[in-house]
Structure 1
Amino acid sequence: MNIIVVGAGKVGRQIIGELSDSCDIVLIENSEKIIEDITSEYDIQSILGNAVNVDVLKEAGAKNADIFISVTGSDELNIISSMIANKLGAKSTVARVRSPEYSKSAKFLSSSLNITKLINPDEEAAVQILEIIKYPLAKSIEHFANKKLQMVEFKIPNGSYLDGIDLKSFRKTLGYNMIVCIVERGEEVIIPKGDTILRSNDNIYVTGSKKDMDKFYDSINVKTKKIKKVMLIGASKICFFLTELLLNEKKRCQDYRNR
């Protein structure tokens, strides 16, 4: 796989470190010192220059790139370079943006500018924090289908109504559409069938829509108090996004209770 990475800051360096052994990577960076540092550590190609320069992108091989990833400190440079790379023939383009204004119009920008994905790391961090607040018992949460589906990993607590229930009765008991994908019982990993019986302390992976997952989580016998008050310290971009998410979540819960 041919990948072009623009910018070798913390994010760019992390991407290169993860992918350099399995992919052909070309780094575009405007700092000669950073290029020397990166190329001494990883077996990659590098080009000194500005990623909004068409000649630089052509030299980097944008025409044949499977993925073009722009993660410099400039939102505008990331967006423009991704647009140009797309025009030159890059199959997929990813641009990092950190401005709240760009994040609010991410879908419009992606479709109108032909950028495959706009990613805001601060917003993603805020989403992760919100999930910790909402699902304190969950060990991990994964998203699929543009975040319409969730897979939540958690341990069945003692005293839960799930203790002793078989999967044939699982959805009937819940009253909504949920699927148990994996059951971990001690050292054993079980691919569940209809006659699989859940036990307390089982580690289970459950998949469903976000709406059904919220109902399911509320129905579990959780011995942790529901978080009602949150104090945020610091006025960072993460704080901005988290505040907005918390207010939206509060409104959603109020609307649900008023039905």
Structure 2
Amino acid sequence: MNIVILGAGQVGSSLAEVLANENNDVTVVDIDRLHLQRLQDRLDIRTVFGHASHPNVLRQAGLEDADMLIAATQNDETNIVACHLAQIMFKVPTKIARVRGRSYLDHPELFSSQFDEKAINIDLLISPENLVTEYILQLIEYPGSLQVIDFHHSKLRMVAMRAYQDGLLVNKQINTLKKHLPSAIKTRIVAIYRNKDEIVMPTGETVIRAGDEVFFLAEPRHVPAIIAELRQKKEKPSRNIMIGGGGNIGFHLAKALEGDHLVKLVDHNMQQAREVAEQLDKTVVIRGDISDKDLLLEENIDEIDLFIAVTNSDEANIISGMLAKKLGVRRVIALVNNQSYVELIQLNGIDVAISADSITTSHLLHHTRRGDTVKAVTLRRGAAEAMEVVAHGSENTSDIIGKTIAQIPWPSDITVGAIIRKDNVIIAHRDLEIEAEDHVVLFLTDPNSASAIAELFATSEPSWFRWN
């Protein structure tokens, strides 16, 4: 696929790396020569220096031959204009724009994926801030979760949890799980990570150890019961929550949480703190430095169940998160985009580090895949991936339809987790047969296997239909 990315910032760079590694033809446009040079030094891509919304620059980037434009600069207007020009000048098939401004996001009628002379032709608007907010809210729904991913309109959910020493399943084989759960609850453990990065491909005989990071699939209503088997005790919901940062993410988190939780929000900017306070009903808004120990003590940090650091500074989020943990907060979530800080975080007690870039990249990934991939999510900072792929065709045109899971030559680093058939969830087993239009959920310990999956799910015309 020929893809043009506008913007070599964190989101654009992350996308360029993922897409280039999947053998796409990638061109990146930016006004920062240093950023472009750094990308070109480590990736097999083409770069163009210039303003992303200038017609001559878009032509130089090869937009007339592009299959997709991803406008991911820091400027909303630049992204919108570039997508508009991509349509009227080059008829680019797919146009995606990163938009942060609430005034744009609140008026979707201004944009259309279909030709409409009254609307700007953009196929998909993405807001990293909205995506991060939704991601954090899912983590809050399941106390102790490390990652939560929905498939097929939330019919199926993948959850990553840490197994604790006193959990009922710890030091036991996976096949004993069904003995501890009601018969109506079905689940499948699709991967286990041990000692940070050691991958264990699970079988029924695999023994779960304390500290393992366990990925399992289940229907959302069954997730709490499964979590209870992996944890030493049932974790209390986070009642008292403190949010560091009153920007878009902090504000929308407070707005979503203040109805059912006791929320405090801290921001160092007086004007922003005042504006946020005027728009929130129950949240206590405090003007101050979130990494100020005296402030945290004054606000009874030891009574806080969950601390969420989502300022614009990675350093402030890390320092305040580590400080909150030291002062007695049970759980800490921090927004950290710089991947070089991840090791530091793992060693210093922050429970979950989330990256807006990784979340945004995951949201876009399935648009760049061959075949009918309806979801593709990067896991463990890009080291693994979960996919939802639709099986099309018939036994005559497909290599997988009509065959059981055991008969299909899957790559060795793939786990088939479940099938969603006509909105019904079927947990995978070796004798389960694939039918047309099944949504197959897979776990890939190597994202490079995505191309092999695309080939497996590809369809071809039957031999009697082909010209000789």
TM-score (norm 2): 0.43
Q: CA offsets per residue over residues 73-103 of structure 1, 9 Å max, x none? A: 2223323422443553434332111123444
The worse-fitting range, judged by mean Cα deviation, of 140-149 and 57-66 is 140-149
Equivalenced residues, count = 243
Aligned ranges 1:1-259 → 2 under 5 Å: 1-16=1-16, 19=19, 22-29=23-30, 31=31, 34=32, 36-41=33-38, 42=40, 44-51=46-53, 53=55, 55-86=56-87, 88-104=90-106, 109=111, 111=113, 115-145=122-152, 149-162=156-169, 164=172, 166=175, 169=178, 173=182, 175-183=184-192, 189-193=200-204, 196=205, 199=208, 201=210, 203-214=213-224, 216-217=226-227, 221-223=231-233, 224-247=235-258
CA distance in 2, matches of 1:110, 1:245: 28
3-state SS of 1:181 partner: strand
Greater helix fraction, Structure 1 or Structure 2: 1
Shift of 1:236: 0.7
CA distance in 2, matches of 1:225, 1:244: 22
Shift of 1:237: 0.7
| Counterpart code for 2:12 | G
**Gap regions ≥5 residues in structure 2:** 115-119, 262-468
TM-score (norm 1): 0.70
Task: Work out which structure has the larger RCO, using CA pairs closer than 8 Å and 6 or more positions apart in sequence.
Answer: 1
Q: CA offsets per residue over residues 3-51 of structure 1, 9 Å max, x none? A: 212123343344445555654333334x3xx1x3234331523152442
- 8 Å contact from structure 2 (residues 139, 148) kept in 1: no
3-state SS of 2:28 partner: strand
CA distance in 2, matches of 1:188, 1:58: 45
The worse-fitting range, judged by mean Cα deviation, of 164-173 and 129-138 is 164-173
- 8 Å contact from structure 1 (residues 3, 67) kept in 2: yes
Could you say if the C-alpha distance between residues 78 and 174 of structure 1 is closer, same or farther in structure 2, counting changes exceeding 3 Å? farther
Could you say if the C-alpha distance between residues 92 and 111 of structure 1 is closer, same or farther in structure 2, counting changes exceeding 3 Å? closer
- 8 Å contact from structure 2 (residues 191, 199) kept in 1: no
Counterpart in the other structure of 1:257: none
Q: CA offsets per residue over residues 203-222 of structure 1, 9 Å max, x none? A: 43211344443564467645
> Identity of counterpart residues, as a percentage?
24
CA distance in 1, matches of 2:93, 2:179: 43
Could you say if the C-alpha distance between residues 25 and 220 of structure 1 is closer, same or farther in structure 2, counting changes exceeding 3 Å? closer
Could you say if the C-alpha distance between residues 214 and 208 of structure 1 is closer, same or farther in structure 2, counting changes exceeding 3 Å? same
- 8 Å contact from structure 2 (residues 161, 227) kept in 1: no
**Gap regions ≥5 residues in structure 1:** 251-259
